[in-house]
Amino acid sequence: MNYVTEQILGSLRDARIRKGFSQRELSARSGVPQSHISKIESGDVDLRMSSLIALARVLDLELFVAPRKTVPAIKSIIRSSNATHNNGLSDESEPMSPAYQLEEYDDD
């Protein structure tokens, strides 16, 4: 399993836990079979786009494609938003990790 896939699967699992959902409850809300959610979270199956979208919607996550050059600005906005949601106090002990990480390529 590659780093990007691990990050996405970890983000889904973390969001499910933060929402307080069991795999069974997430299954009922998303329409994705519980056994498939278990396999997705453990990395035993490839995550299909339709399943990713269904799970993200239920977990209040947003999926988008952005130009690579805008990723630093997007990360900054997310950090700022997280600090605001934490009453202006960012938790420096837990650095934010993106749900994905692009390889460093020079597209110029």
Angle between helices 34-42 and 3-19 (to 10 degrees): 130
Q: How far apart are CA 8 and CA 11, in angstroms?
A: 5
Q: How far apart are CA 19 and CA 14, in angstroms?
A: 9
Q: What is the pLDDT of residue 3?
A: 73
pLDDT higher than threshold 50 for residue 92 = no
Q: How far apart are CA 33 and CA 27, in angstroms?
A: 5
Write down the pTM of the prediction.
0.68
> What count of Cα atoms within 13 Å lies in the side-chain half-sphere of residue 9?
19
Helix, strand, or coil (residue 69):
helix
Which is more confident, 46 or 20?
Answer: 20
What integer best gives the mean pLDDT of the chain? 82
Please give the average per-residue pLDDT across 21-49, as a whole number: 94
pLDDT higher than threshold 60 for residue 39 = yes
